[in-house]
A = this chain, B = another copy of it.
Amino acid sequence: MHIVVLAGGVGGARFLRGLLAAAPDAEVTAVVNTGDDVTLHGLRICPDLDTVMYTLGDGIDEDRGWGRRGESWTVKDELAAYGAEPTWFGLGDRDIATHLVRTRMLDAGYPLSDVTAALAQRWQPGVRLLPMSDQRVETHVVVDDPETGRPRAIHFQEWWIRHRAALAASSFVQVGVDDARPGPGVVEALRTADAVVFAPSNPVVSIGTVLGVPGIRDAVRAATGRVVGISPIVDGAALRGMADRCLPVVGVEVSAEGVGRHYGARSAGGLLDAWLVHTGDQATVPGVDVRAVPLLMSSPEATQALAQAALDAAGAGPR
Copies of this chain, how many? 2
User: Cβ of B75 and Cβ of A122 under 8 Å apart?
Assistant: no
Contacts of A97 in B (CB 8 A): 74-75, 78-79, 81-82, 84
- The residue in chain B whose Cβ has the minimal distance to the Cβ of A43 is B100
Interface string of A62-85 (1 = CB under 8 A from B): 000000000010110011011110
Known A-B contacts A107-B42, A122-B82; A74 and B93 likewise in contact (beta carbons under 8 Å): yes
A103 in contact (CB, < 8 A): yes
Contacts of A82 in B (CB 8 A): 97-98, 101, 119, 122
**Bound: A42/B103 CA distance, A:** 7
A143 in contact (CB, < 8 A): no
Tell me the smallest distance from the CB of A83 to a CB of chain B, in Å.
Answer: 7
Size of the A side of the interface (Cβ < 8 Å), in residues, is 24
Residue among B83, B94, B98, B103 making CB contact with A74, cutoff 8 Å:
B94
- The residue in chain B whose Cβ has the minimal distance to the Cβ of A44 is B42
Tell me the smallest distance from the CB of A188 to a CB of chain B, in Å.
Answer: 28
User: Cβ of A96 and Cβ of B75 under 8 Å apart?
Assistant: yes
Contacts of A78 in B (CB 8 A): 93-94, 96-98
Contacts of A83 in B (CB 8 A): 122
A104 in contact (CB, < 8 A): yes
Interface string of A93-115 (1 = CB under 8 A from B): 11011101101100100000000
**Bound: A122/B75 CA distance, A:** 15
Contacts of A103 in B (CB 8 A): 42
Tell me the smallest distance from the CB of A49 to a CB of chain B, in Å.
Answer: 15
Question: Hey, which bits of chain A sit against chain B, CB under 8 A?
Answer: 41-43, 72, 74-75, 78-79, 81-84, 93-94, 96-98, 100-101, 103-104, 107, 119, 122
Q: A41-B101, A78-B93 are in contact. List 10 more A-B contacts (CB 8 A).
A: A41-B100, A42-B103, A75-B75, A75-B93, A75-B97, A78-B97, A78-B98, A79-B97, A83-B122, A84-B97
Counting from the closest, the 6 A-B pairs by CB-CB distance are: A78-B97, A74-B93, A42-B104, A41-B100, A79-B97, A75-B97
